[in-house]
Amino acid sequence: SGTDVVPTEQKAGWTSFIKSLASMTGDLSSMTAPPFILSPTSLTEFPAYWCERPELFADIATGRTEQDRAEKVLRWFICTLKGQYTDDGHCCFPGARAIANNTFKTRNEKMGSEKKPLNPVLGEEFFGVWPDVGFGETTLSVEQVSHHPPVTAYFIQNKKARVTLQGHSGQKTSFSGGSINVKQNGHAILTVDVPGGKKETFLITLPKLQIQGLVWGSPYIELTDSTAIVSDTGYVANIDYKGKGWVSGKAHSYKATLAHNGKTVRSYEGTWTAIGKVAKSDEIFTDATVPKTEVTVKPIEEQSDWESRKLWRATAQGIRSGDYDAASRDKSRIEANEASAGKQWQLKLFQYVESDPVYKQLAAHVKGIPSEEDAYIFRGNA
């Protein structure tokens, strides 16, 4: 049958979940899914995927020209896609923890499919560090800034290299042709200090996702359409995404161009899960097979009650050990606490702005995106 990976006792539940997707109203996060598809990881942890190649993030600052830096931003961005969009092992079957410790593999390689992450509560936080191994320490601060609809804001910084990334992501989902289509709301802004006391700024738009393979019970992500990286130096990178059956015929393909004031200076193509090359050459541009560096997190005992791994500890343990009753009891407890927490909410780490001035300035150079967007500006951990 088509649903071989679905545990026998959950087949009916899976079928009715797929059917209910057809009447979904845009917020998939709050839908109840069968246990086998649940991930023990909260969405507040996902911004860590932006920096699992901290060496490439820091390397942006070593670019000697505007074009050099624009190209390094593009390389770093493409090399984050594999971690972001191929499920990396928030494993749910017994004994899976040991496999999950293998940081050389992605989610899909470890457990075969995309899972449904835990839906963060308002005010949930996640802090992480990539220790200094020569190019400076990189830190990550995340806050869930909205629950309905879910929006996650993050700030990443390498102080020594003087590179920062600030952004937010929400999702709008729809169902058609057997797949879930996910449009990401939000954008990211990268800044890098350059010699002479100046700063360069890059606007990064977020890709659309298609979740395929639902019918088989082993969902996976393909990226569609295109995204842009726009710099205030006049460099614009455009990245087109395609799945199987396009040019190379390979899944997870990309084609990118780097242009300056409208004139293409270089092109690249390949896959964002393996190798991308400078077009019409053998020069390797992106290598996503290089081992990634997972973020490190304080021991749970030292975390505050708002921090993701402490907050969801019992739920996650229930999911990992297959004790779904315990998982769902603890999940209900957390969600009930949240419902009673009241409506007026003070953001802790970020400040909301209705129109992001940096976005407004740079978005004018990209066709087909809104001219204004809101944003969450990092205020610090104080």
Contacting positions for ligand CLR (CB under 6 A): 28-29, 33, 37, 43, 46, 49, 84-85, 114, 116-117, 169, 171, 182, 184, 209, 211, 219
CA 134/CA 335 separation, integer angstroms: 42
Residues 99-119 as b or e (16 or more Cβ within 10 Å = b): ebeeeebbbbebbbbbbbbbb
Nearer CB in complex with ligand CLR: 123/217: 217
Question: Residue 167 is which amino acid?
Answer: G
Spatial neighbors of 151 by CB under 8 A, at least 6 apart, are 144, 145, 168, 169, 170, 185, 186, 376
Nearer CB in complex with ligand CLR: 119/303: 119
Nearest approach in angstroms of CB 365 to ligand CLR is 23
Nearest approach in angstroms of CB 165 to ligand CLR is 11
Nearest approach in angstroms of CB 269 to ligand CLR is 23
Region of 105 (left: φ > 0; alpha: ψ -120 to 50; beta: rest) is beta
Nearest approach in angstroms of CB 80 to ligand CLR is 9
Nearest approach in angstroms of CB 324 to ligand CLR is 15
Nearer CB in complex with ligand CLR: 191/212: 212
Nearest approach in angstroms of CB 278 to ligand CLR is 27
Nearer CB in complex with ligand CLR: 217/233: 217
Give strand ranges (E) for the chain: 38-42, 116-118, 125-130, 138-146, 151-158, 163-176, 179-185, 187-194, 198-205, 208-212, 220-224, 226-231, 235-242, 253-260, 263-271, 275-278, 284-287, 350-353, 375-378
Nearer CB in complex with ligand CLR: 235/272: 272
List the Cα angle 278/284/290 in 5-degree steps.
140
Nearer CB in complex with ligand CLR: 27/287: 27
Spatial neighbors of 257 by CB under 8 A, at least 6 apart, are 237, 238, 264, 266, 267, 268
> Is the Cβ–Cβ distance between 21 and 215 less than 8 Å?
no
Nearest approach in angstroms of CB 361 to ligand CLR is 24
- Cα 172 off chain centre by: 14
Angle between helices 324-339 and 313-321 (to 10 degrees): 160
Nearer CB in complex with ligand CLR: 59/114: 114
Around 102, how many Cα atoms within 13 Å sit in the side-chain half-sphere? Answer: 14
Nearest approach in angstroms of CB 264 to ligand CLR is 28
Nearer CB in complex with ligand CLR: 182/334: 182
The structure tokens 């102080």 sit at 159
Nearer CB in complex with ligand CLR: 28/235: 28
Nearer CB in complex with ligand CLR: 92/235: 92
Nearest approach in angstroms of CB 170 to ligand CLR is 9
Nearest Cα to 52, choosing from 376, 290, 252?
Answer: 290
Nearest approach in angstroms of CB 54 to ligand CLR is 16
Torsion of CA 172, 176, 177, 180, to 10 degrees: 30
- Give SS3 for 132: coil
